[in-house]
């Protein structure tokens, strides 16, 4: 099950993210993409980048909010399909392929 926390992206960070995103488009609010967790640090995906194996993420903890370019998680699932994880490298909690709910599946 995915974390239920959402965060509005501050206007200054929205503008910075739009400059970095290849499409120039980012959502004004993001949901934490980690599996349900107890900690207060959350990560929302803003955009895939042209840089191979990296994405732009919003990280928030309390009132502290910032943008980060993070490398993609390189771990793939077991079995013949070897589904990739849709999170960033060295993330805490489960890989996205470990969560069987449909909302955790990659949309790309």
Cβ atoms of 6 and 32 within 8 Å: the answer is: yes
What confidence score (pLDDT) does residue 50 get? Answer: 85
39 sits in the region (left: phi over 0; alpha: psi -120 to 50; else beta) called beta
Look at the block and give the residue holding tokens 């771990």. 75
Cβ atoms of 34 and 91 within 8 Å: the answer is: yes
What confidence score (pLDDT) does residue 55 get? Answer: 95
Q: Residue 61 burial (CB < 10 Å; 0-12/13-18/19+)?
A: exposed
Positions of the chain with pLDDT lower than 50, given as ranges: 101-108
Q: Residue 17 burial (CB < 10 Å; 0-12/13-18/19+)?
A: buried
């Amino acid at each position: 099950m995915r974390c239920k926390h959402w965060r509005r992206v501050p206007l200054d960070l929205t503008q910075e993210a739009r400059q970095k995103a290849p499409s120039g488009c980012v959502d004004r609010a993001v949901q934490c993409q980690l599996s349900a967790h107890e900690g207060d640090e959350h990560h929302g995906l803003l955009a895939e980048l042209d840089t191979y194996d990296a994405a732009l993420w919003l990280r928030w903890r309390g009132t502290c909010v910032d943008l980060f370019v993070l490398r993609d998680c390189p771990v793939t699932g077991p079995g013949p399909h070897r589904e990739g994880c849709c999170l960033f490298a060295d993330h805490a909690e489960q890989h996205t392929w470990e969560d069987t709910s449909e909302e955790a599946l990659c949309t790309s």
